[in-house]
Amino acid sequence: MNQSAKRYSPLQVVLIGGAIATTATVSVFGSAWTRCVLAALQDSPKSLVDQVWQLVNREYVDGSFNQQDWLATRQSLLSKEYSSNEQAYVAIREALQKLGDPYTRFMDPQQYQNLTSQTSGEVSGIGIRMELNEQSKRLTVLEAIENSPALKAGIKAGDEILAIDGKPTQKMPVEEASGLIRGKPGTPITLQLGRRGQSAFDLKLTRATIEVPTVRYDLRQEGNRRVGYIRLREFSGHASDQMRRAIRDLNNQQADAFVLDLRGNPGGLLNSSIEIARMWLDNGGIVRTVNRTGGSEVTNANRTALTQRPLAILVDGNSASASEILTGALKDNNRAVVIGSQTFGKAMVQSVHELGDGSGLAVTIAHYYTPKGTDINKKGIVPDIKLDLTVAQERQLASNPNLVGTRNDPQYARAIAALSSNNFAQPPASQTNQPVSSGARDLRF
């Protein structure tokens, strides 16, 4: 895969799902020892440590635990004294590192809250996307989300956030700033903004619950074809509904073909990726997952596709996990032509659990394969038409986001050429409709 591509942090690619599990299988240690441990664990950081151990012990995909003596690890963890939850966090992270799996990871309460907000597709705040400008070291607004307090208040792309409720933001990480901006709906917040050609000014806003748009789409006239362009940022809780609306709207506008842009999409909810695959694919397999006992589950299309029009998919080295499930399903079933750079290569499934103190744990529970049985882990998906951007092209698109998904975007332009040529596989006229899986767990990749 493209080694120069930016890799997403585990926070961005972990898988959501599953309810918190509080049962403990401590009987393996003997009754007397168990009673002592249970007494010591009540209302102490050790309860958190043991809860993490139990979840990993029950769910982790590798039954050998990376050749570690996992029972000995538990005894070692519980033999120590922890004066605070923070000390327990350190011990938990050290224990998880032994598994050699970057996706099985512990999240403190703030990290877990950020993750759940991201995957739910909703956030309580003011509705902006921002970045830390590398040159000015100032937080800069990338976009004010539709129907958000920020947009209604007149915040614009390019505005600099100089302070949040009086706290200066120079060199402040985006994650820290996001934590300050988020809050209970109906509560006030004051931003100090800098805008080109104006003096710094304060703007008072009221937080609200916002549905974060993950789908952007429009219809373009490309030669003699009407092309529906859809960009999917991530597979959040609202992504499938937004995708359904986009496809139906573009169908009503008489789109002749589609370009689905998954570049930079780090993944999301497993169920969301399956639902979206079924919008494009009438028949055939979507994904096969295998757990630590070798048990497998196959999920198939179910004759609910919204369109059979020609489809091109754009991917890059940051298209990961759920993006790769969708791409692999449509590629293996000859439903789409895939264009761009080799994808990230993450074929592991995680469940995420909320812990007793509001922190969280992501546990790798399964390995997935494409419909043709391809293992893409650490390899990625090779596009049908491989077209890597040059460093200069990447910089141009990064500095001019409005060029992404236009004829000035080489990968998009190549997709239009492929759609115009008709020299790629069309959806199969008929396939055996296999039974639909009993239902994917609501997990996140």
CATH no. for residue 183? 2.30.42.10
Domain containing residue 57: CATH number:
3.30.750.44
Rounded-to-integer distance, Cα 443 and Cα 325, Å: 13
Rounded-to-integer distance, Cα 319 and Cα 381, Å: 10
Max intra-chain CA distance, the chain: 79
- Residue 6 domain-assigned? no
Which tokens in the block code for residue 127?
A: 């509705």
Same domain? For 383 and 323 the reply is yes
Same domain? For 48 and 150 the reply is no
What is the mean predicted confidence (pLDDT) over 182-210? 95
The pLDDT value given to residue 13: 30
Query: Are the beta carbons of 144 and 127 closer than 8 angstroms?
Result: yes
- Residue 257 domain-assigned? yes
User: 166-185: buried (b, 16+ CB within 10 Å) or exposed (e) per residue?
Assistant: eeebeebeeeebbbbbbeee
For residue 146, give every residue at least 6 positions away whose Cβ sits within 8 Å of its Cβ, in sequence order, or none.
213
The pLDDT value given to residue 119: 84
Rounded-to-integer distance, Cα 269 and Cα 16, Å: 6
Same domain? For 43 and 141 the reply is no
Same domain? For 238 and 377 the reply is yes
The pLDDT value given to residue 11: 30
- Residue 335 domain-assigned? yes
Question: What is the residue range of 372's domain?
Answer: 215-421
What residue type is 249 in one-letter code?
Answer: D
SS3 state at 444: strand
The pLDDT value given to residue 43: 53
Catalytic residues: 321, 332, 346
Same domain? For 278 and 370 the reply is yes
User: Of 163, 189, 211, which one is at a domain's C-terminal end?
Assistant: 211
**Tens-place pLDDT, residues 422-432:** 554 444 433 33
What is the mean predicted confidence (pLDDT) over 310-331? 98
Kind plus residue range of the DSSP H or E element containing 360: strand 360-369
- Residue 111 domain-assigned? no
Query: Are the beta carbons of 203 and 162 closer than 8 angstroms?
Result: no
What is the mean predicted confidence (pLDDT) over 83-101? 97
User: Above 70 in pLDDT, residue 442?
Assistant: no
pLDDT tier at 179, thresholds 50, 70, 90: confident
Query: Are the beta carbons of 277 and 335 closer than 8 angstroms?
Result: no
The pLDDT value given to residue 343: 98
- Nearest 5°: the CA angle 384, 385, 386 is 110
For residue 80, give every residue at least 6 positions away whose Cβ sits within 8 Å of its Cβ, in sequence order, or none.
91
Query: Are the beta carbons of 424 and 339 closer than 8 angstroms?
Result: no
User: Of 50, 72, 105, which one is at a domain's C-terminal end?
Assistant: 105
- Residue 5 domain-assigned? no
- Residue 363 domain-assigned? yes
Number of domain units in the chain: 3
Tell me the whole-structure pTM to 2 decimals: 0.78
The pLDDT value given to residue 281: 98
User: Of 181, 211, 241, which one is at a domain's C-terminal end?
Assistant: 211
Same domain? For 161 and 80 the reply is no
Same domain? For 147 and 56 the reply is no
- 188, 210, 233, 273, 317 from 240: Cα distances, Å: 32, 17, 12, 8, 23
Rounded-to-integer distance, Cα 70 and Cα 75, Å: 9
The pLDDT value given to residue 166: 96
Same domain? For 294 and 375 the reply is yes
Query: Are the beta carbons of 133 and 140 closer than 8 angstroms?
Result: yes
pLDDT tier at 212, thresholds 50, 70, 90: confident
Helix then strand count (H, E) for the chain reads 13, 19
The pLDDT value given to residue 114: 82
Domain containing residue 387: CATH number:
3.90.226.10
- The strand ranges marked E within 76-151 are 105-107, 122-125, 128-132, 139-144
- Residue 286 domain-assigned? yes
pLDDT tier at 117, thresholds 50, 70, 90: confident
pLDDT over 90, % of the chain:
74
pLDDT tier at 348, thresholds 50, 70, 90: very high
Which tokens in the block code for residue 81?
A: 């004294």
What is the mean predicted confidence (pLDDT) over 59-79? 96
The pLDDT value given to residue 276: 98
Same domain? For 289 and 363 the reply is yes
**Tens-place pLDDT, residues 405-414:** 999 999 999 9
The pLDDT value given to residue 209: 92
User: Above 60 in pLDDT, residue 207?
Assistant: yes
pLDDT over 70, % of the chain:
85
Same domain? For 207 and 219 the reply is no
SS3 state at 231: strand
Same domain? For 259 and 385 the reply is yes
Query: What is the average pLDDT value for the chain, to the nearest integer?
Result: 86
- The strand ranges marked E within 80-200 are 105-107, 122-125, 128-132, 139-144, 160-164, 167-168, 188-194
Same domain? For 293 and 164 the reply is no
Question: Parallel, antiparallel, or unpaired for β 257-261 and 225-232?
Answer: parallel
What is the mean predicted confidence (pLDDT) over 83-88? 96
- Residue 171 domain-assigned? yes
**Could you give phi then psi for residue 167, rounded to 5 degrees?**
-90, 120
